[in-house]
Amino acid sequence: MTVYVVDASVAAKWFIEEEYAQPALTLLSGQHRLHAPDFLMLEIDNILCKWIRRGIISEADGEVVRSTLAQLPIQKHPFESLRDSAYSLANRTGRSLYDCLYVALAALLDGRMVTADRRLYEAVADGPLGEHVLWVDDIP
C-alpha cells in the first residue's frame, strides 16, 4: 500500500464538490495508507467555520463533516515530533510552518504528501524534498 500524507486542502475536498474533488476522493478507496499530523482536525474545523460563515454549508452539515472525518482511516501523528524539521523547511521555502508539518511527516514516513495547495506544491517540488510531495491531480 502506498503511504500518503493528506493535507487539509485535500481532505476538505472529500466533503464539497470543487476542483480536484474527484482525484482527492480516490484516496479513500482503501488502497492507500493515509496519515496526517494530528492538527489536521483543527485545520478542517477552521475550513468548516469559513464555509458556514459564507453560507456554503450549514452548521449541521459541518457537524456531519467533523464526525465523518473522525471516522476515516487516517493515522494521526503528534505534531511535536515534526516541529524542528518543519521549522527548517518553512524557513527554506517561505511556506507556513503548518504546511511544512505535512511535508515533514511525509519525509519521516518515506511517503508522499498530497496537496491541492499550488503554492505549497511549487515551493517544495523542485527542492530536496520534492520526492515527498504529490499534486492532487497526479495521484496514480
Encode pLDDT of 85-130 as tens digits: 999 999 999 999 999 999 999 999 999 999 999 999 999 999 999 9
Coil, strand, or helix at residue 35? Answer: strand
Q: For residue 116, what is the DSSP state?
A: -
Cα separation, 128 vs 13, in Å, equals 28
Give the residue among 133, 5, 1 at the shortest CA–CA distance from 79.
Answer: 5
For the entire predicted model, the pTM comes to 0.92
Cα separation, 17 vs 20, in Å, equals 8
Taking the mean position of all CA atoms in its chain, how far away is CA 59?
Answer: 22
Encode pLDDT of 55-68 as tens digits: 999 999 999 999 99
Domain 2-138 is in which class?
alpha beta
Sequence-distant (6+) residues with CB within 8 A of 84 are none
Q: For residue 137, what is the DSSP state?
A: G
Give the residue among 38, 60, 31 at the shortest CA–CA distance from 48.
Answer: 60
Q: For the chain, what is the mean pLDDT?
A: 95
The CA angle 111-130-90, to the nearest 5 degrees, is 95
Residue 42's pLDDT band (cuts 50, 70, 90) = very high
- What is the pLDDT, as a whole number, of residue 30? 86
Mean pLDDT of the 71-85 span = 95
